[in-house]
Amino acid sequence: MITLKDKIDMTRIPQHIAIIMDGNGRWAKQRNLARTEGHKEGAERAFDIANRIFNHWNIPYIETSVKLGVKYLTLYTFSTENWNRPKEEVDGLMELLVDNIIKETPTFHKNNIRFMTIGDNSLLPEKALIKLENCIAETASNTGMTLILALSYSSRWEITEAARRIATKVQSGELMLDDIDDKIVADNLTTANIPDPELLIRTSGELRLSNYLLWQLAYTELYFTDTLWPDFR
């Protein structure tokens, strides 16, 4: 039997895939559900993608990615702009995050997946931050693949912070003005030492980057699908 993996050109597998997981709210609205139910389904989709085993045609994408040689998967989980959403919705998202991190940490470790976050963690509730830090520490030595959540993240925030760090180094004499080049900028981003994505996927039909990895996506292939994130396979 020919499987999906048999049809894939293994010489063209990207090292790093980034995903904008969009459409949870619309998915819920189509079903007359609360937006929080859409986020719950979307979170389950994200962690399914992280952990399940490649089994015939039941293909969760992160575990498949491990087998195909993908080394990094970055999921746009919560933007800095999302803090402007209604408090009830934000609280629900944070609760989902904590619950899923607690549940999935042993599975990440079992599957040799390293867990990381990028973004302004100082804005996160203490409970969520502790669970994130525990998961990061517990999986730090894993080598199969790195799963990165872009959490409380925006590119404008990231680039602004990089500019501040570089300016501080110049002011202190650690760095000369003439030394600043694109590598220096990249080394001061939250994704320092992580290769730029070769493929970006955005679900839900929106044709924009929404302040996501703007520096890193300069040469990335972009794929947009009308499928809402909870329905994405």
Per-residue pLDDT reduced to its tens digit, 9-58: 878 888 999 999 999 989 999 999 988 899 888 888 887 765 542 223 33
Strand partners, 200: 18, 222
Residue 58 is predicted with a pLDDT of: 38
Global pTM value = 0.89
Residue 1 CB partners (closer than 8 Å, separation 6+): none
Residue 211 CB partners (closer than 8 Å, separation 6+): 79, 80, 81, 154, 155, 156
Query: Pick the catalytic residue: 22, 24, 100, 188?
Result: 22
Query: Using one digit for the tens of pLDDT, what is the confidence trace for 122-179?
Result: 888 888 898 899 999 999 999 988 999 999 999 999 999 999 999 999 999 999 999 9
pLDDT at 59 over 50: no
Which tokens go with 106? 């042993």
Query: Using one digit for the tens of pLDDT, what is the confidence trace for 63-96?
Result: 566 566 788 999 999 999 989 988 888 888 888 8
Residue 128 CB partners (closer than 8 Å, separation 6+): 94, 97, 98, 101
Query: Pick the catalytic residue: 48, 82, 196, 231?
Result: 82
Mean pLDDT of 196-220: 97
Backbone phi, psi, residue 93, to 5°? -65, -45
Is 55 one of the annotated active-site residues of the chain?
Answer: no
Is 22 one of the annotated active-site residues of the chain?
Answer: yes
